[in-house]
Structure 1
């Protein structure tokens, strides 16, 4: 039986290590191709605990953690100024938005509507906190990218089905990126924003 646990702010602490491993394993795959390290992931996620409206939803099959999903106010200092400025430049108020960060599901549990439930729970939380809209960013890779697996299925249709729309607002993040050669290099990665009114 799949169960869900909602944790806010400092309640997140017991899952810092597990969340870090989820990110490292999942984001190493296409399309993110992120080759990070555990210490950085731990430090990064611990910052969530300083934000009173940060959110972690954990899905479990019995005692086994099978999915994690996070959120944080878009105007949180943790998010940095660049994204907020981009929204202001495009006539959007950052304070109206709650930001959805990772949603990671173990491969063997995908296709069971767990992702849909996680998004709904995050939308419900954002609504409870008084937000009018939610948003997230997703990396964009070219169709003929050499590391794109033949079996890769873009989540764009899933997001569209949930009511999210892709914005013409993008940002680039530099991080250790796996190259076609198999080597890891610091590279800029283009990401686009998606949003939904709630």
Structure 2
């Protein structure tokens, strides 16, 4: 799959599964540390954490990485796997709300360098992950979560445009009461703090 990126370049988008995921983990780790450092995640990442987190993800049954390349360089990626394969703090809110998490496919991070935004990769990322869910079979819903930040946060850029319209166009909507908490260190904090994560979901 290719998508236009400017007048001369084309981006290659690949679906990576199975043991091949291990090969792309270094690039995925690099992108996560770059992109998530910006608003709204403000993530102060470490290579040690990235290695542990991504190695665990790579072992998830049914996992997929949708990777975008500009030549030989990975410039963006998104991940997905069955919800049952993820940390308990993500699945627990769904269990409490009465959902069967074995039927929910979780779309994890999407990270894309600023230099390559605006070329349709957001759609490619969702298309690829939803295709993986349908290929695996047995999933009734697809979900992802976003961090909840106060509007008056001092590090919020004045020109920030939330992705809510794009997500709604894809058929997703926030689910009332389905909120998880996850800990990480913000770039302006001395240590880890808890962050609320609002889930969005669509029917497959």
The residue number in structure 1 matching 2:194 is 188
Runs of 4+ displaced beyond 3 Å:
none
The residue number in structure 2 matching 1:20 is 29
The residue number in structure 2 matching 1:139 is 147
Task: Judge conservation of contact 2:61–2:82 (CA < 8 Å) in 1.
Answer: no
Where does structure 1 lack aligned partners over 5 or more consecutive residues? none
The residue number in structure 2 matching 1:197 is 203
- CA shift digits 1:20-77 (9 cap, x unpaired): 111111111111111010121012101122223111111112222111110111011x
- TM-score, normalized by length of structure 1? 0.93
The residue number in structure 1 matching 2:108 is 101
Q: Distance in 2 between matches of 1:73 and 1:83?
A: 11
Aligned runs of 1:1-198 on 2, under 5 Å?
1-76=10-85, 79-130=86-137, 131-168=139-176, 169-179=178-188, 183-198=189-204
Where does structure 2 lack aligned partners over 5 or more consecutive residues? 1-9
Q: What do you get for the CA RMSD once the two structures are aligned?
A: 1.3
Secondary structure of the residue that 1:7 maps to in structure 2? strand
Equivalences, count? 193
Q: CA deviation at 1:120?
A: 0.8
- TM-score, normalized by length of structure 2? 0.90
Q: Distance in 2 between matches of 1:80 and 1:122?
A: 19
- CA shift digits 1:83-123 (9 cap, x unpaired): 32321211211011111111111101111111111111111
Task: Judge conservation of contact 2:147–2:196 (CA < 8 Å) in 1.
Answer: yes
